[in-house]
Structures are given as structure tokens and as C-alpha cells.
Amino acid sequence: MDLARILAELKSERDRIDRAITLLATVGSNAASAAPGKRAGRPKRKGLTPAGRKRLSEAMKKRWAEKKRKRA
């Protein structure tokens, strides 16, 4: 077992990982400062309009009434 070779490989791997961490930290901080207030991931959903909320309410009441009728 060549300990010097193993040690050299581990040091080079450590250096590669350190460079990757530095790069990711830089990219992460730039992305966060470039777009404050922007959410990452899913786009923001728009809320229901009052008319849409009323249609949804009526549809759910109708569905519940049908379920209640089937049970009775």
C-alpha cells in the first residue's frame, strides 16, 4: 500500500471539493442577491376571483347534496 499516493489523491480530491463548494456558494449568493423577493420553484398562483369562488362553492354544495341523497 502506497500511503504517499493515497494521501496525494485525497488531498487533490479535497481541493476539488473545496473549489466546488466555493463556486456553489458564489452562484447561490449571486442568485439570491440578483432577484430579491422572487420565489424559487413553482410560479406564484393567482387567487380565485369572487365569481370563481361562488361557482366553486355552488358546485361543492351540489356535490355534497348528491352524496347526501345517495346515502339516504
- Over its length of 72 residues, how does the chain's per-residue pLDDT go in tens digits? 699 999 999 999 999 999 999 988 888 776 655 555 666 677 777 788 999 999 999 999 999 999 999 988
- Residue given cell 473545496 in the structure block: 18
**DSSP letters along 15-65, please?**
HHHHHHHHHHHHHHHHHHHHSTTPPSSSPPPPPPPHHHHHHHHHHHHHHHH
* Cα(24)–Cα(8) distance, integer angstroms: 24
Q: Would the pTM count as exceeding 0.75?
A: no
Give yes or no for a contact between 48 and 56, defined as CB atoms under 8 angstroms apart: yes
